[in-house]
Structure 1
Amino acid sequence: MKKLFLLLLVISTLGLNVNCSKDEFLDQPLRGRQQLDDFFSSPENAVLFVNGIYNKINGESWFQANFPRQINEMATDDNWSGNTLQPRPDITGIAAYNVFAGSTYFNLFWENHYIGITRSNISLERIPNVDIDEGLKNRLLAEASFLRAFFYFDLVRSFGGVPIVTTYNELLQPEIRDKTRASVDEVYEVIEADLIRAINTLPLRSEYASSDLGRATKGAAQALLAKVYLTTERWAEAQAMASNVVQSGEYSLEAEFEDIYSVDNPHGVESIFEIEYINDPQFTDIGGQFSTTNGSRGDQGWGWCTPTSDLENAFLNEGDEIRLRSTIIKHGEPVYGDPDVPEFDGVPSENKSGRTNRKYYIPVAQRPTPYQRGQHPLSYIHIRYADVLLMHAEAAYFNNDEDTAKASLKLIRDRVELDTDMSLSGTALRDAIWKERRLELALEQHRLFDLRRQKINGVSRLATIMGPNGTFVKYNTEESTDPFETTNLGEAQDKGILFDVDVHLLWPIPPEEIQLSQGNITQNPGY
């Protein structure tokens, strides 16, 4: 799907304004009706414009969406901020719940997603008038609906209720001061409606040509809607929607766990929604970012978002060597699957944990030249089949269907040669499913949203892990003897002690957006 990565160059050549300015955060106007009319005058341009929506999934540069998602990971028990050589209060503060509301990363994430929403709105309004094959037209409209839902789901989980914009009029652009926050329920209504439209129209993965792999599919829309239902605790709908994906026969688990994030396996059998990257030194930022931003400072990386010993212990306590070796690289140890690195340099003096994410690591022999940010050919998978099976298990459990829950759980554990206790029931089964999500999906940017939504006696699990009495805080301050974490105090050992359940289940609304709305967009409590 290389054409997606060249869209920005195409639009720039045509003179369309694809950059955001501070006073255009919701509507992102292109300059003039004639310009839009000219652009949407051909089927080819309609396809190109929809391709441009995909660019905002991971942002058009490393800092717009990908890095804020990594900061989310840093705010969990799975990761430290990591980089202790270059203290950044706007990063480590978020990770430690000493949150700087004005962090540029909140603002960039918000702006990036509203640009994506605006591109979706333009597509949904303009493409019906393009002289184009009806099948292609309907598919493009369904892709735009899926992508708009994707952006709103990211926003509502991050900030709560946000302004809803579903139209675009270049002549009658509403003033920012007229925008207000919709309720959480209203945002989810938009998301659900968009995904249902997408499901009814999008092709199956098997119906796409190989050159179009990576586009939204019926299975991707069903999987995302299953996650929406799981998040909103609509258990029966979540189970049914996840079952649709399972029963489609379009996806399966990779035979070997290590192959999921192999640079040689883009769009593998387990991938449901994936952004593929390419390497081309002629252009910047068309390749991946994570191998650099996550990478060790001893291995041409920046050293951010580094795995904790607490996460490593979770694997060890489960006897889960197969997933551990493909998830965490540790200082002084060989890199699994890379014979060129018998002793990894995790630089513990500059890295809080001396550990690195193996899933975003590219073996030395497979690295492109130049090996640098924006040139990595390693894809990023937003949704994969194992995630759907675990959603299915969790929804089935809460839907009082424990046998089904255990069957889906067993499929995940069988792959990594772990036994499943089929006698599990009640909260023990629930906890086993939640533990499996942590181990299976570790470091893939799901943990924060999982902990926020999962509840025990009505209280978010995040409150049991963070805060003065949180298990993660107590482990690090009272129990840990990890030689890297306890000696490198460039990042405080009590990370998370400031967590407040009445504040930190949402991030702050970017203050710039509140100011631009003249106060009509209100701040979340506690910020």
Structure 2
Amino acid sequence: MNNKINIVVILFLSLGFFACDDELNDLQPFTEGNPSTFFNTPATFQIGLDGAYRQLWLLYSNPNSGLQGIPDIVSDNVIQAQTGRRSNDDYHDLRYVPSTLGPIPLFYSEAYEAINGANLVIGQISNLDGDPAQDNILGQALAIRAWAHFDLARIFGQIPTQSAEANSSFGITYLKVEDGDTGDPFATPGRETVASNYVEIIGDLERASTLIGSDSNGEGRLDRNGVFALLSRVYLYNGEYQKSINAANEITTALATPTELPDVYTDATNAGIVIELSINTSSEAGGNNVGVLYSQSSDGSTISEFVLDFDFFNSIDPTDARRDVLQFVGVNQGNDYNAIKKFLGEPGQVNGRVDVKIFRSAEGKLNKAEAQFELGMEADALTTLNEVRAQRYTPFVAGTETGSALEDAIQFERRVELACEGHRFFDIKRRGESIMRNPTAGDIIDGTGTPPEAPVLAAGDFRFQFPIPLAEINANPTIAGQQNPGY
């Protein structure tokens, strides 16, 4: 594996900023200063970028509220274990409100901190005029800005393919500066439309794709593969299916094989990984225990917070390599559970401390297959889907589905492939479907136990959009009149 990158914590203030070294000792911390004088070498610009990457890492890896897990918790891949701490109970039961602590304010604040960091870099990029590193640095900053805005848009706004009125509905505030622009620290901007958001997100990513380097920028950082991976996802969400196919075709990372796949989730290999957010596992203070959101281990017991949904787990074929990657039998208080194996820890560890897998090449293939199906290219879609299946089933038998059966197969393979990695809620939402949980199947391994409190979230329900945090409503008078309906 590549060496872990040195991530520097940067706290961005309206009139300045400061940072301290988080992992290694080769970069010296600096205190409050002026961005126009601090950003003067590729190394100092990289410090700024690494601060922005870290905010994304905090967004995804928070052990209580991270975006790596909440989209599965509010959908139908998992069910709450009654012998756990009952963490994220309000979210699993679909009772989240603007004042709720946890994911809602975390998602909002960390994403905008990442955007702030990217904008600081973009605003000073002319300081590198003539330097060969300039384009690559600007490309990373543009892609980070687009990535964070995309997450905000899909969390707090509708997704363009979700409904007929989605594009004209409220999206989020797109904070955009250009070279030399420091922005207005006293501005109180309002929410733009979803359509406007996606134009700006795609614009930043497309520009980034022409600037960023093709060589790796180091583990945990974006490169050309990563930008096209994000484009394949954003185009799919935006209903631009041919462009999603084209972007997926630009991804050169090979699929992880059946033998490699288990090691992906213990960080023993980077096979099939296009984008990840890295942590330092060398010390207790090294990083968030991302897997703790699902379970912890104590005195030989597995204290599961959430376990795999009974129907979902039992729909996975025994010949599917992902079955053992997803599940192990967790025991707590005399009960057996379909405990979640992904993100348990590095080899021999059960501390939940592993890198966050943002985008794997398998998602690129599945984006492509879905886009091909949407364009009526069924034979091509089946071929692409079978490329994924060939690396997951032993023995592999090529599928022959057509029509609605093929569409269902693509979505099933997507659900299994990306389970517990933060996709399921958004996949249901962008397709305008309903969340359907079995109202009689419980949390225990044989389907007994306590069933879900909220078995259905009907398509079109206002809760598919999270509420704008109350703190933002109170601070920004423009936003105050633009809360999402239903809250």
TM band (smaller chain): 0.7 to 0.9
Residues 147-158 of structure 1 mapped to structure 2, 5 A cutoff:
147-158=144-155
The equivalences for 1:212-361 within 5 A come to 212-245=218-251, 249-256=252-259, 258-259=261-262, 261-268=264-271, 270-281=272-283, 284=285, 286-298=286-298, 303-315=304-316, 318-331=317-330, 345-347=331-333, 354-361=337-344
Query: Conserved in 2, the CA contact under 8 Å of 1:97 and 1:504?
Result: yes
Partner of 2:119: 121
1:99-498 matched pairs, under 5 angstroms: 99-104=96-101, 105-130=103-128, 134-160=131-157, 161-167=171-177, 173-175=184-186, 178-204=188-214, 207-208=215-216, 212-245=218-251, 249-256=252-259, 258-259=261-262, 261-268=264-271, 270-281=272-283, 284=285, 286-298=286-298, 303-315=304-316, 318-331=317-330, 345-347=331-333, 354-362=337-345, 366-367=348-349, 372=351, 376=353, 378-415=354-391, 416-417=393-394, 418-422=396-400, 424-454=401-431, 460-461=432-433, 463=434, 465-466=435-436, 472=437, 475-477=438-440, 480=441, 483-484=444-445, 488-489=449-450, 493-497=452-456
Match of 2:462 in 1: 503
Question: Which amino acid in the other structure matches residue 93 of structure 1?
Answer: D
Deviations 1:70-117 (A, max 9, x none): 2221011101243644345xx212212222332222011100000000
Please tell me whether the aligned partners of residues 266 and 379 of structure 1 are also in contact (alpha carbons under 8 angstroms): no
Give the deviation of 1:411 after TM superposition: 1.0
Change over 3 Å in CA distance of 1:259–1:106 after alignment to 2: same
What do residues 357-410 of structure 1 show as CA deviations (whole Å, max 9, x unaligned)?
A: 2121236x633xxx756xx3x222111111111111110011111111011111
Contact 1:257 1:323 in 2 (8 A): no
Q: Which amino acid aligns with 2:429?
A: R
Q: 1:166/1:412 Cα in 2 relative to 1: closer, same or farther (>3 Å)?
A: same
More helix by share: 1
| Paired residues of 1:123 and 1:144 also in contact (CA < 8 A) | yes
Question: How many angstroms apart in 1 are the aligned matches of 2:213 and 2:328?
Answer: 38
Return the alpha-carbon distance in structure 1 between the equivalents of residues 131 and 93 of structure 2.
Answer: 51
After TM superposition, give the deviation of residue 55 of structure 1 in Å: 0.4
| 1:325 positional shift | 1.1
C-alpha distance in structure 2 between counterparts of 1:182 and 1:11, whole Å:
24
Unpaired segments of 5 or more residues in structure 2? 21-29, 158-170
Amino acid at match of 1:263: T
Distance 1:501 1:31, change over 3 A: farther
**Alpha-carbon contact 1:291-1:360 (below 8 Å) kept:** yes
Contact 1:79–1:305 at 8 Å: present in 2 too?
A: yes
CA distance in 2, matches of 1:127, 1:86: 47
> Hey, what's the Cα distance between the residues in 1 that align with 2:264 and 2:245?
27
Kindly indicate whether the alpha-carbon contact (under 8 Å) linking 2:244 and 2:368 is maintained by their aligned counterparts in 1: yes
Equivalent-residue separation in structure 1 for 2:78 and 2:297 (angstroms): 16
Q: CA RMSD in A?
A: 3.2
Normalization by structure 1: what TM-score? 0.78
Paired-residue identity, % = 22
Determine the structure 1 residue equivalent to 2:476. Answer: 517
Between structures 1 and 2, the one with greater strand share: 2
Q: Is the 8 A contact 2:4 2:278 kept in 1?
A: no
Instruction: Give the secondary structure class of the aligned counterpart of 1:274.
Output: strand
Distance 2:474 2:245 in 1: 42
Partner SS for 1:242: helix
In 1, are the aligned partners of 2:338 and 2:444 still within 8 Å (CA)?
Answer: no
* TM-score normalised to structure 2 length: 0.84
1:279 partner amino acid? T
Please give the secondary structure, in 1, of the residue aligned with 2:275: strand
CA contact under 8 A between 1:296 and 1:356: conserved in structure 2?
A: no
User: Runs of 5+ in structure 1 lacking a partner?
Assistant: 20-29, 332-344, 455-459, 467-471
Secondary structure of 1:145 counterpart: helix
Seen in structure 2, the aligned counterparts of structure 1 residues 61 and 149 have a Cα distance that, compared at 3 Å, is: closer
1:271/1:384 contact within 8 Å kept: yes
